[in-house]
Amino acid sequence: MDNMEMVRRQLLAPAEIDDAFLAEALSALAAHQLTFGDIYFERSVHESFYLEEGIIKSGSFDIDQGVGIRAVDGEKTGFAYSDVIDKTSILRACAAAAGIGHGHACACVKLSPRQAAPLYTAKSPLDSWERQRKIALLQALDKSARAADPRVTQVMAQLSTQHKLFLVAATDGTLACDIKPVIHVSVTVVLESGGRRESGFAARGGAVLLDALSDPALAQTLAQEAVRIADVNLAAKPGPSGELSLVLGSGWPGVLIHEAVGHGLEGDFNRVGSSAFSGKLGQQVASPVCTVIDDGTLPDRRGSVTFDDEGTPGQHNVLIEKGVLKGYMQDKQNAALMQARLTGNGRREDYGSLPLPRMTNTYLAPGEYAPQEIIASVDKGIYAVNFSGGQVDITSGRFVFCTSEAYLIEHGKVTAPIKGVTLIGNGPEIMQRISMVGNDLAFDQGIGVCGKSGQSVPVGIGQPTVKVDAITIGGMEALSA
């Protein structure tokens, strides 16, 4: 059974919905003069378990399904949704959404199913392990963390799985579907010593089945990593403040690129001129060593899509090439208004949400330097390995990021761990100050979630080791000469 047949059986067959009815409903939308309209069906099954103090404190199992109908007329959008999938609800929602249009077009829609090699298996991660095996993984994380260090006072572990499938039909004839499993396991530990407490966190995940967590050593590996981070922070001294060189580690530190640059390259912000990158296509917006890519086709990554939530195939999009701005990420509405090509970035949180131009897997392409060379080039600076959070102003490009694991670099060597370090800067300016890019491209451990306009979607984040020549550091200690 292929993905299209499976999705039809689960989403459409119970309500006796076939292609003829979809064409009828879409024709009702297209009868009003609209730019386009679509019908989006979705079913999502989610299960999670949470362990604390060595016992399972909570668990959940949820099934959510429904249909969202959208009608777009230029910059205007009419939207209606129902958590009941049946013909009556769909036709009523079509009539409500189409009210945004004007006049009559009397169009007849003919659906054309889109085919693409699916990135994901149709098998659900919820069914790939027995419940007791899922609980046993959390118990193993707790046991491994407590065995790793006698200073561990608290362990919290969580496992969540989701299986999502959708089908979208549009007035332009699009008929596409996708199936996506997402898993996430994490452990947080608290260490206490000398009256001081610090925490550490480690996780794994991705758009894979639970079998990806089958390695018997995984629980010990994650627990030891969480304990290591907590131990580093226990030993950390207050970080400096002032302007310093910065080396960003590979992988998760790419969240800075994601926030400070990626959001600014989404089509809606640039269409209305509210991004720091608006109107700069073809211009040098970053150092020549920087190439930024958004790629929805990477296997097993959280942000990957066979089709986006509008039925556009996932794509490999070069956003910035050798420092030159090449393009923005687009959904259908903004692409039409900007007369730009579709990029496969129309994404929504669920059937009750409108699609927006969103990132998939965004990363800085690798360069030519070994990480050791980059660190050795810094006389005095900061080596930031992990972040706990941050804020970005899309219009100005200004950002503030807080590190959760960072070290001093002194005379070309990584030395003491530091804490309380905040990075303050402007996205476009920082991109111009990147002078060295490593050859060690890595991605996050399958845990990325991106928020925008009240919606959250899974994303991938990555980069190699990177040197920023100068950035403002907010720390607890004044910078010494």
Residues 208, 339, single domain; the answer is no
Residues 314, 448, single domain; the answer is yes
Residues 319, 444, single domain; the answer is yes
pLDDT at residue 103, as a whole number: 63
Q: What is the DSSP letter of 341?
A: -
**Which among 260, 246, 265 has a CA at the least distance from the CA of 398?**
260
Q: Number of folded domains in the chain? A: 2
Task: Print pLDDT tens along the chain (481 aa).
Answer: 588 888 999 999 999 999 999 999 998 888 878 899 999 999 999 999 999 999 999 999 999 999 999 999 999 999 999 999 999 999 998 888 888 866 666 566 666 777 777 776 667 777 789 999 999 999 999 999 999 999 999 999 999 999 999 999 999 999 999 999 999 999 999 999 988 999 999 999 999 999 999 999 999 999 999 999 999 999 999 999 999 999 999 999 999 899 889 999 999 999 999 999 999 999 999 999 999 999 999 999 999 999 999 999 999 999 999 999 999 999 999 999 999 999 999 999 999 999 999 999 999 999 999 999 999 999 999 999 999 877 888 888 899 999 999 999 999 999 999 998 999 999 999 999 999 999 999 999 988 999 999 999 999 999 999 999 999 998 766 555 4
Radius of gyration for the chain, computed over Cα atoms and rounded to the nearest angstrom: 24
Residues 174, 283, single domain; the answer is no
In the chain, the amino acid numbered 367 is: G
pLDDT at residue 481, as a whole number: 45
pLDDT at residue 251, as a whole number: 95
pLDDT at residue 391, as a whole number: 80
Residues 231, 249, single domain; the answer is no
Distance of CA 451 to the CA centre of its chain: 8
Among 235, 265, 281, where does a domain finish?
A: 235
Residues 245, 183, single domain; the answer is no
Among 176, 208, 235, where does a domain finish?
A: 235
pLDDT at residue 461, as a whole number: 95
pLDDT at residue 1, as a whole number: 59
The packing angle between helices 19-30 and 87-98, to 10°, is 20
Q: Which helix (H) or strand (E) holds 221?
A: helix 218-235
Residues 253, 216, single domain; the answer is no
β-strand partners of 65 = 43
Residues 166, 248, single domain; the answer is no
CA distances from 20 to 25, 92, 110, 195 (A): 9, 17, 9, 69
Residues 370, 269, single domain; the answer is yes
Residues 90, 224, single domain; the answer is yes
> What CATH code is carried by the domain that includes residue 91?
3.30.2290.10
Domain that holds residue 470: 238-478
pLDDT at residue 476, as a whole number: 62
Among 214, 235, 256, where does a domain finish?
A: 235
**Which among 49, 62, 66 has a CA at the least distance from the CA of 11?**
66
Q: What angle do CA 325, 395, 286 make, to 5 degrees?
A: 30
As a whole number of angstroms, the distance between CA 216 and CA 419 comes to 33
Report pTM.
0.93
Cβ atoms within 10 Å of 176's Cβ, excluding its own:
25
Residues 216, 296, single domain; the answer is no
Place of tokens 């211009």: 283
Residues 186, 292, single domain; the answer is no
For 105-195, strand residue ranges (E) read 112-113, 152-170, 174-193
